[in-house]
Structure 1
Amino acid sequence: MHDDEEMLRRLRVDDLPPSMVDLNRAMRAGRRRERMGAVVAGGLAAVLALGTVVVVAATTGKNTAAPWPGAGPEGSRSPEPAPPLGNCTIDEAPVASQSRMIKIVANRSGQVFVMQDPLKSGNLLRWMDGRQERIDGVPTGDGYGTAAAVNGSGAFVGASGYKPAWVYRDGTFTVLPLPPDVSAMSMVGINERGDLIGTAFYWDGRDDTRAVLWPASQQGTPVLLATPAGWSSEAMDIADDGTVVGYLSHRTDNGPVDITPMAWGLDGSARRLPVPAGWTPARAGKRGPYPIAIAGDWVVGAGARWNLRTGTAEVVEGLMPMKVDKYGRLFGNVPLSVPDNGSTSGRPAVWVNGDVQPLPIYPDRPEGTLFSVSLDGRRITGTSYVTSGAFGTATWTCGR
């Protein structure tokens, strides 16, 4: 069977590629705990690849996937070049800056924010339509409630410690039903339609995880996304059309972990994403080419970029991507320094057609991280901070 046709079949264990990444058990467990804990929005813990930015396209052989089913007629096998982003300006975000690190999430356009109330533990604040309001009644659980994602209507998802998981919509919290035997939930995303995604963890006699979808049309019924027996799956982001991106992981008998980048459709279809040509386990801190964000046809991950329509896969070096827009422009950080303790600071930047454009910064807050990019890439939100811990929320407007 042709490779392109092979990738469109429903997953089976023998469809999976050979091992590409060697991760030890401690790193994997630590990453799970980090995602389920109270994540600091302003922190930058990822190790960035140093050196000149280089992009290598993979458009032939096993590194080319068939177009996403239903994406339309096949056109060029090469994506259209992204338009220039234009000049960008920086301003304070409309939410009040905080004196200590707290979790902040924003919708894609950077118009709606949800954060923890620093003065009243357990409550949340939402900034929307020009005003800030306190959200009471957060479901109690193993810890304080933390929002994970918000959409343009102001609906947001989160969890209280390990669980329960919940969604806040139209002034009411609703606890989400979970698949059987779930020990903990890490909520990840909500799209404009209201589809929800997260990752379920099983601790009682199991060491696997499962990507979970709550479709907007039937949120009383969680759907476990297609995962081969013996493998784990993890959801990372969801597009407005319901496409979920994430990855599969599998521990082999001798210890290494196989990582397979994935996309799932609302119709239950599952698609392997290709590993870029030239990829080696040493790229992106040996973490593997797993997706972390999606916008339109474009998917970005740790050291890689994919186009779902054309099936192309590319290696990205020198920039730690965090977000992508509908044109395939990448938004993330470039390294500023590498201290003796091995951590890396970064400056927000955008990658366009292989060129990196640093975003403007405040002189007294030269570092930062991004947590929201609009679909057209013109509005970016994040934090700007200094190593001493002082930080503020920021917004960038581009293309004017």
Structure 2
Amino acid sequence: MTRRSSSPQASRPWRLPVVGLLALAVSGVMSLPAAAAAPPLGYQAIPLVPVTGQAFEASRTGNPITSTGRVAGTARPTPESDVHAAAVFYLGNHTIRVLHPPGSSGSSAVDVNNLGQVAGSAEYPGRPRQAFVWTSRTGTYRVLPLPPGASSAYPYALNDHGAVVGYYTDADNHYRAFVSDPAVDDGRIRNLGTIGTDDYAVGTGINNAGDVIGYTFSLTRQGTRGFLWQSRTGAMTSLGRPAGTNTMVPNDINDSGVIVGSAAYVPPVDREQDYRPGRGWVLSPVTGQFRELPAANSADPAAEGTADAINAHGIIVGGSYSAGTWSAVLWNACGTAKQVLAAHDDVTYASGINRYERVLGVDALAPVLWRRNNGPCVLQ
């Protein structure tokens, strides 16, 4: 499953654990009952249900939960409604603020920062989709102007300085990774370039130093390549790949420069038997080495995995899929020990974590917050 339907086909193929990564689609049935499992040691699961009655879907991009108790996502009048709008969920009282960019016919929020700024994209009748930033303090919208010839823009992540990353579609229908920093060049969208001969690029994360992660790809070559673009130098460098893989997607970067993501070996269509499952990984800026993260069912060689977010203390969250079982997983800062927060026969994963170890995710298709209790929390 891709991270969202409007994303490039190659984007975030392991944002959710998947079966049949070649098709980037989710499938699978398990024999276990769908009843909620007992809460993990030290954590309490809290459903994210607005008291105002709307349906809320948390974002699956960036790290969309803040240390100040906000979650970015999309609100609908009912779960089945086609009407959708960007929204912020407030954890303190379970209320939501619905955002309506002027002139838009629909919108979605992808990330929120600790200052209360929200990044999202809006649809306009007869106009291209554009990215925006809403500031809670002033209630104002900053719409990111598209570069000449561009037909749409999709944001992915936002830092605490209001800088946005994502991708836009250019005049040749190629994806271009971008950063928009309000402190640089009046916040104009900046094309970050690409690696080698790749002609597509997507920005997926940004930290408070302004360093951007993402991936590049080409329609004439199998796989994707992760990149790091450093704001200090303005240079893009390849992250390489974990051994034995040809497709990797960085998902998040913290202020220490630690990067998490997923990687797999995706062969040509005529060699599907050579496929190797996607696994989550963590990349240290000190050693430059990838460390594979253990899946929820480490004994299953076919288990899929993804590392989706990392907090300031190096705690990592993501998801796993094995033999019909979906799991939301938390790893320690060394990436060696894990704790399964929930496991079900329906979509379950963790997608965000703040500095207080409040974990955002989905538990059997329902948005949920796993909150750490005062008692002991032991990673097993």
TM-score (norm 1): 0.66
- The letter for the 1-side match of 2:253 is I
CA distance 1:375–1:246, change in 2 (3 Å)? farther
The whole-number CA distance in structure 1 between the counterparts of 2:159 and 2:306 is: 24
Q: 1:116 aligns with which of 50, 74, 93?
A: 74
Indicate the structure with greater strand content.
2
**CA deviation vs aligned residue, 1:57-112 (integer Å, no higher than 9, x gap):** xxxxxxxxxxxxxxxxxxxxxxxxxxxxx953123156528999753243243710
The whole-number CA distance in structure 2 between the counterparts of 1:399 and 1:33 is: 39
What corresponds to 2:118 in structure 1?
A: 156
Q: 2:319 aligns with which of 329, 333, 350?
A: 333
The whole-number CA distance in structure 2 between the counterparts of 1:250 and 1:297 is: 27
RMSD: 3.5
The whole-number CA distance in structure 2 between the counterparts of 1:301 and 1:214 is: 23
The whole-number CA distance in structure 1 between the counterparts of 2:133 and 2:338 is: 37
Residue 259 of structure 1: how far off its partner (Å): 2.2
Does residue 308 in structure 1 map to residue 285 in structure 2? yes
Q: 2:187 aligns with which of 220, 242, 263?
A: 220
Structure 1 counterpart SS, 2:248: coil
What corresponds to 2:159 in structure 1?
A: 191
CA distance 1:173–1:122, change in 2 (3 Å)? farther
Residue 260 of structure 1: how far off its partner (Å): 1.9
CA distance 1:87–1:260, change in 2 (3 Å)? same
**CA deviation vs aligned residue, 1:207-250 (integer Å, no higher than 9, x gap):** 42111111131343221113256522110111121111111212
What corresponds to 1:182 in structure 2?
A: 150
Does residue 394 in structure 1 map to residue 380 in structure 2? no
User: Is residue 322–residue 332 contact of structure 1 (8 Å, CA) maintained in 2?
Assistant: yes
Q: 1:350 aligns with which of 330, 333, 336?
A: 330
Residue identity (%):
19
User: Is residue 208–residue 231 contact of structure 1 (8 Å, CA) maintained in 2?
Assistant: yes
What corresponds to 2:361 in structure 1?
A: 382
The whole-number CA distance in structure 2 between the counterparts of 1:93 and 1:109 is: 18
The whole-number CA distance in structure 1 between the counterparts of 2:108 and 2:155 is: 10
The whole-number CA distance in structure 2 between the counterparts of 1:108 and 1:251 is: 36
**CA deviation vs aligned residue, 1:155-187 (integer Å, no higher than 9, x gap):** 111112461221111201221112221112111
CA distance 1:380–1:231, change in 2 (3 Å)? same
What corresponds to 1:200 in structure 2?
A: 168
Does residue 35 in structure 1 map to residue 35 in structure 2? no
- Unaligned 5+ runs, structure 2: 22-39, 263-278, 296-304, 376-380
The whole-number CA distance in structure 1 between the counterparts of 2:230 and 2:50 is: 38
- The letter for the 2-side match of 1:117 is A
CA distance 1:163–1:366, change in 2 (3 Å)? closer
What corresponds to 1:279 in structure 2?
A: 244
What corresponds to 1:56 in structure 2?
A: none
User: Is residue 50–residue 56 contact of structure 2 (8 Å, CA) maintained in 1?
Assistant: no
The whole-number CA distance in structure 2 between the counterparts of 1:116 and 1:32 is: 12
The whole-number CA distance in structure 2 between the counterparts of 1:322 and 1:98 is: 29
Residue 323 of structure 1: how far off its partner (Å): 1.6
What corresponds to 1:71 in structure 2?
A: none
Does residue 320 in structure 1 map to residue 335 in structure 2? no
- The letter for the 2-side match of 1:280 is T
The whole-number CA distance in structure 1 between the counterparts of 2:238 and 2:224 is: 11
The whole-number CA distance in structure 1 between the counterparts of 2:20 and 2:370 is: 23
CA distance 1:104–1:297, change in 2 (3 Å)? same
The whole-number CA distance in structure 2 between the counterparts of 1:196 and 1:259 is: 22
User: Is residue 75–residue 85 contact of structure 2 (8 Å, CA) maintained in 1?
Assistant: yes
The whole-number CA distance in structure 2 between the counterparts of 1:92 and 1:33 is: 27
- The letter for the 2-side match of 1:157 is A
- The letter for the 1-side match of 2:321 is P
Q: 1:290 aligns with which of 227, 242, 249?
A: 249
The whole-number CA distance in structure 2 between the counterparts of 1:127 and 1:178 is: 28
Q: What is the correspondence of 1:3-22 to structure 2 with a 5 Å cutoff? A: none
User: Is residue 297–residue 326 contact of structure 1 (8 Å, CA) maintained in 2?
Assistant: no
The whole-number CA distance in structure 2 between the counterparts of 1:125 and 1:336 is: 33
- Unaligned 5+ runs, structure 1: 1-26, 50-85, 282-287, 339-344
Indicate the structure with greater helix content.
1
Residue 266 of structure 1: how far off its partner (Å): 1.6
Structure 2 counterpart SS, 1:115: strand
Higher relative contact order (CA 8 A, sep 6+): 1
